[in-house]
Every structure is written in C-alpha cells, then in structure tokens.
C-alpha cells in the first residue's frame, strides 16, 4: 500500500501552498492509497477528515500532527493517527511519546538532521520515538546518512516521507506497506515489524 506519512496543507500550515483538495487529487493521480495529514502544531477536527474523505474515496485519509519542540523549536515530532489537541499542550517529547503510546499512535522524529544543531535532543531523551525519518523533500545532503546511523544505533526503523508542502513535492519519497491500512493506527504494527519498504529505496 503506497502511503504518505507527512503532509501539510494550506488550510492549517502557513508554509504549505496547496489546498487539501489539490493535494488529495495529486496523491490519487500518483497511486497513493493512504495519507496522514500532519499540519504544523495544529490538528484537523474529525469532521474535516470525514468531509475530505467523502470527496476522495480512492485514498484513505488519516489525521496526524507535527509538533515543534525545543528552545529553538527545531525538533519536530510527528504523531500519526490523532486529532487530539491535548498533544499541542504537552511541553516535552517524552510526554508526547508517552501519551501516543497510551493511545496507540505512531511517533516519528521528523527530518532529524535538517539543521546544524544536532544531534536531536529527542534521540537522547528518556523515551524514544517509534521511528526516524530517513529521506524527505526537506532532507539536506548527508542528513539521511546521519539519520540512518542514529536509527541503527538506537534500534529504530527509518521511514521515507514526502514532508509535502506543494504539489511538486508529491511522489518523491514514501513508504509501501505489505498489508493494507484499514485504520489509522494500523501503521504502528507495519512500522514496528518492518512490514514496509522505503521508496525510493536507500543504499
């Protein structure tokens, strides 16, 4: 199943330049079968997901969020499968990851070596995320290798994701799960059991 794990729309992310309908149409054209909408520090209401899903029955549309953390807000953590605004009020990655575990949602450290201030504090915290992003549209040269080394050291899976903000960013990086995602939290078992592959595949 072709899946986008990291996507922003102009509805709730100021840095995104494509509307939800434009992005869903492009994803469907490119053969995606599931997508997680992960706005910056904002969640979609359940009715918004339901309304958008009604227009695009060809693709499973799931909620999520990307939360900025740290003093300079350069550490970004995805929580996939949630529309719970309580995550936005939690000040630390440890608290966010613990709540996600309680609610059975997947956590992914987004583009961990995108900025020079590294290694990311989240990877040295008391509670680790479930996975680390490997390649995205916003991964500078060499950052993917740094992410892969950190993931191996910590025993975490790596995932490719579009980190999509525009139509041009669609269909560059994604994962393919070996089993279909019938519900939002099916992604947890797929990632934890490595029942997926990164596309394009890495070295």
pLDDT digits (tens, 9 = 90+) for 159-201: 999 999 999 999 999 999 999 999 999 999 999 999 999 999 8
Any idea which architecture 2-199 has in CATH? Answer: Alpha-Beta Barrel (3.20)
Segment 40-56, tens digit of pLDDT: 999 999 999 999 999 99
pTM of this structure: 0.96
* Residues composing the chain: 203
Q: Is 142 buried (19+), middle (13-18) or exposed (0-12) by CB count in 10 A?
A: exposed
Give the pLDDT score at 203.
55
How confident is the model over 146-167, as a mean pLDDT?
96
- Using a pLDDT cut of 90, give the percent of the chain over it: 87
Segment 78-96, tens digit of pLDDT: 999 999 999 999 999 999 9
Q: Where are the domains of the chain?
A: 2-199
Query: What is the spatial distance between Cα 31 and Cα 33, in angstroms, rounded to a whole number?
Result: 6
In the chain, beta strands by DSSP E: 2-7, 34-40, 60-69, 75-80, 106-110, 131-133, 158-159, 174-177, 196-199
């Amino acid at each position: 199943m072709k899946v986008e794990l990291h996507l922003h729309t102009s509805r709730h992310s100021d840095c995104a330049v494509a509307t939800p309908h434009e992005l869903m149409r492009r994803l469907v054209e490119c053969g995606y079968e599931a997508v997680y909408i992960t706005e910056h520090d904002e969640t979609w209401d359940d009715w918004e997901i339901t309304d958008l899903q009604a227009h695009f029955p060809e693709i499973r549309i799931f909620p999520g969020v990307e939360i900025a953390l740290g003093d300079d807000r350069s550490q970004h953590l995805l929580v996939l499968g949630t529309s719970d605004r309580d995550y936005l009020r939690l000040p630390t990655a440890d608290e966010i990851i613990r709540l996600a575990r309680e609610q059975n949602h997947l956590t992914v450290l987004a583009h961990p070596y995108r900025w020079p201030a590294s290694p990311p504090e989240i990877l040295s915290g008391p509670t680790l995320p479930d996975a680390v992003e490997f390649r995205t549209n916003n991964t500078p040269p060499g950052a993917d290798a740094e992410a892969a080394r950190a993931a191996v050291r910590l025993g975490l899976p790596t995932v490719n994701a579009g980190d999509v903000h525009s139509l041009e960013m669609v269909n560059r990086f994604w994962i393919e799960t070996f089993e279909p995602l019938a519900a939002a939290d099916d992604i947890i078992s797929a990632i934890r059991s490595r029942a997926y592959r990164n596309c394009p595949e890495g070295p």
